[in-house]
Amino acid sequence: MAMMIKDGNSNWFAMHDMVDFDALTARLPLVTEKREKFSMPFGDMEMVRLYLNNIYIVYGDMRLHRQHLRMKVFDMPDMVELHFSLRGTGLIDNFVDGRRYNFRPNEHNIFYMPELDVDASYCNDETYRFFEVHFTSAHFISLLANTNEKMQRFIDHVVNGRGANMAPGGLPISFAMRQCIQDIMSCPYTGGLKPIFLQARCLELLILQAEAFAQQDTGYEKTVLKTGRDKDSIVHAYEYLLSHLSDPPSLQQLASIAGINTFKLKKGFKELYDNTVFGCLNEARLQQAREQLLDGAQIKQLAEELGYSSVQHFSAAFRKKFGVPPGKAQRPGRC
């Protein structure tokens, strides 16, 4: 697959070998991994690409100096994309199928775009962080056929080669989804265990997305986050919390930082992340702890850095979350 990108000065730039389809279908026993950086007049990109049997994972950061770009893709593999916008906003209009695709921070969606000729809009000099899992269409259909009516409508589009998305707008990325994404990006395994671990996490992400879209059709109407600004406030509060794990603000302080009251803060967290503010804080702390333990961090120092009152409290929380004490979390194999 090759991509052509045209900047505002009508200059075309080529990016070759964006997806190696042979690596997806070769049934190799291990994972093929590529880490790359691109620097062009219109912006910079850094990304990681992972190839498994029937699954392609790509994630990274993109920072553009021009707001509008024209993109064309040639020899595009027949794949379904699980898309997760982690930071930044974007908008693309696909001239092939006439669809508009919105990318907002902390939202996910499922796309099928058999052909791509788009006008893309991003904010100048804003970092756009993305995470994507692509399943070959045949594999996706074999996994999700006959699950529910909404998914079947999407699959019908895939079977007939028509562009589609699961929802006109994305849904919030849940904490469970973020954990899966982080697990994939910090995979603790090498060798034969690595593809098994990555495939399991990709399937878990797919299940979480399918459940989220199925629940969207239950008729439940959210009653707290009525505007886009309300939702942005909760996302801002969440991101602030993640960046202050060792010294978190109080509920009142976090509500003030987000520009909302504590009632909306608490209810908003429950709606967007299906968790309380404290629950999100605790989950993020423990996830970070596990990653640092894999890198050889000391338990006592880690407990202090993450704000736990004692090693005992940290060990009890860690065991409850992961089923093992932190002393046994260090694994010999690393990516």
For position 335, what pLDDT does the model report? 40
Q: Are residues 133 and 198 in the same domain?
A: yes
For the chain, the distance separating the N- and C-terminal CA atoms, rounded to the nearest angstrom, is 27
How many other CB atoms sit within 10 Å of the CB of residue 292?
18
Asked whether residue 54 is domain-assigned, the answer is: yes
Q: Are residues 197 and 236 in the same domain?
A: no
pTM equals: 0.72
Asked if 97 contacts 115 with a C-beta cutoff of 8 angstroms, the reply is yes
For position 20, what pLDDT does the model report? 62
Q: How does pLDDT run across 114-156, given as a tens digit for each residue? A: 888 888 888 777 888 999 999 999 999 999 988 888 899 999 9
Count CA atoms closer than 13 A to 173's CA, side-chain side.
Answer: 26
Segments forming the whole domain that contains residue 9? 2-216
Percent share of the chain, pLDDT over 70? 90
Question: Considering its fold, how many domains does the chain have in total?
Answer: 2
Question: Is residue 144 exposed (0-12), middle (13-18) or buried (19+ Cβ within 10 Å)?
Answer: buried
- Higher pLDDT, residue 49 or 71: 49
Q: Are residues 69 and 32 in the same domain?
A: yes
Give the mean pLDDT of 232-241: 90
**What is the CA angle 112-92-66, rounded to 5?**
140
How far is residue 268's CA from residue 171's CA, in Å, rounded to a whole number? 14
For position 155, what pLDDT does the model report? 94
How far is residue 6's CA from residue 12's CA, in Å, rounded to a whole number? 4
Q: Are residues 196 and 239 in the same domain?
A: no
For position 56, what pLDDT does the model report? 94
Asked whether residue 203 is domain-assigned, the answer is: yes
